[in-house]
Structure 1
């Protein structure tokens, strides 16, 4: 079986090597308390996109730190609290943006609402107010790494996924017992983060998730493309790796393998064994820690790319909400 990583037999047992911060759980409990105190102030603005079978809106809300966050929200036409229906949370890949409205219509056609987040500071309409010391260039994994752990940007992005989920749960037309999340790469990571931090999520379908086991990425010498900012940070700010343990421990706060045990949703995950962007071992490090009902579909000949077969399986999986 082809692979760019360890053999599949070893992958199924692998638990990761990135250090976990001693106060990890307290860190995320404090983060959730901060979100609880944040007035989300959601606002729906009718979108220019018009179709007969759906109502489409630009959704804005205020995330932690005061950034105004954007999402696309589409629901079946004539939706009402009397006919509650399931909902999907959609998360996009690194540096990207929400998919076009037409791509979201497969969900509304099936009678689902869909909420698609624009991650702050990336390609969409969400604000990123910043406010960190240290470098803000060459990537968001390292943003805040020279400041306090509370300033890590992915902490704020993870909390944005929870805020979006809570808005979905509070929507009168949405059945709060039938909400799922999905996405690929960064979107897969945010799917997992959302399911870990918002236990009411019922189904999660991540595809080759990002943001797992950073030290393993480094040791594989695959700190390129999506993870190239790790190489940049060491070369620029710690060229002799004198602070290596400290840096990777701080990154542990936003390492999905340590949030994975909190997930209660049913999980369907896809990984390609030829993935050189998010190496398979990093994904297994996270997956092997999930305690909820789970299934991983392995694609031996696929890398970090579209997997149409999994797209269809994801759709069928979410029809079970």
Structure 2
């Protein structure tokens, strides 16, 4: 087996991260969830022109925190029987991007599972942020709102995901006990965060999750999605006078600090050649999970879409949602 670009596998299997966890972490998220309860559950559904013989497609829009409008690609099987309740998958996309084409989601619908694919606010999809529809950012989302931490971008995204789960679980045809979350990279991180904040999520499929162990990423100088941490110091704090506060604040949206809340079954995938989200940062979260879990290791693969055999694993995971 080739060496990881990070640590040897035997060290990775014991590593639990070095990033700080804020002392008031639990209170921070308790308050955040209470704030969400005060937000009206406003949403609308519009029929999309794309459809197949077995699938109807819709655009779902709901009100996120701070009056953002969040767009969701919603795919519903056509063959639902009267009174039948089916599983649902909540999907989240990669960093700076948007939800993939409708066709990518059809295999799940063919299994009689509804799919809800959320586009993150202010990124490259059709979700707006609180400052308007014309602002689309591929990067610099990680550090947005870091001072003070009440305005953290990913706090808002995680709460958007929670609100989506509330909406979906309110549909009569959805089996609330069979709702799963999934995503790659940023999407994997959001899927895990949602499962932490909603312990009734049944299962998670997280592929090389982003948003974990920020201090480790900075120490490794990984570049890619975490490059903006270095940019922040270069432009905003070149002498690192507030370094401790900076990493403490990022700790509120570090999924390794949420891992122990997850009650869902978790499947995580890691490529040992991943230079974008280093393996150690992923293991930092995985090793703190106290739920039922399994780790799919791809020694020769990095941060890439086509991990041979992974899509089959993903479908097999989805089929488990059909079991009562």
- Greater Cα shift, 136-145 or 178-187: 136-145
Separation in 1, partners of 2:145, 2:31:
17
Spell out, residue by residue over 1:157-195, the C-alpha distance to the aligned partner (whole angstroms, 9 max, x if none): 011111111111111111111110111000100110111
Match in the other structure for 1:219: 219
Shift of 1:79: 2.9
Spell out, residue by residue over 1:61-91, the C-alpha distance to the aligned partner (whole angstroms, 9 max, x if none): 0011111110011111143560111111111
Match in the other structure for 1:53: 54
Match in the other structure for 2:153: 153
Q: TM-score, normalising length from structure 2? A: 0.94
Shift of 1:274: 0.6
What is the SS of the residue equivalent to 1:128?
A: coil
Q: Runs ≥4 in structure 1, deviation > 4 angstroms?
A: none
Match in the other structure for 2:190: 190
Shift of 1:138: 4.8
Separation in 1, partners of 2:272, 2:104:
27
What is the SS of the residue equivalent to 1:319?
A: helix
Separation in 1, partners of 2:249, 2:55:
44
> Could you list the runs of 5+ residues in structure 2 that have no partner in the other structure?
none
Conservation of the 8 A alpha-carbon contact between 2:89 and 2:181:
yes
Match in the other structure for 2:203: 203
Spell out, residue by residue over 1:286-305, the C-alpha distance to the aligned partner (whole angstroms, 9 max, x if none): 11111000011111111001
Match in the other structure for 1:280: 279
Shift of 1:226: 0.8
Write out aligned runs for 1:131-170 (5 A).
138-146=139-147, 148-170=148-170
Structure 1 pair 81–65 and aligned structure 2 pair: CA distance change class (3 A): farther
- Greater Cα shift, 257-266 or 34-43: 34-43
Separation in 1, partners of 2:272, 2:53:
42
Write out aligned runs for 1:61-100 (5 A).
61-79=62-80, 82-100=83-101
Q: Does 1:311 pair with 2:311?
A: yes
Q: TM-score, normalising length from structure 1? A: 0.95
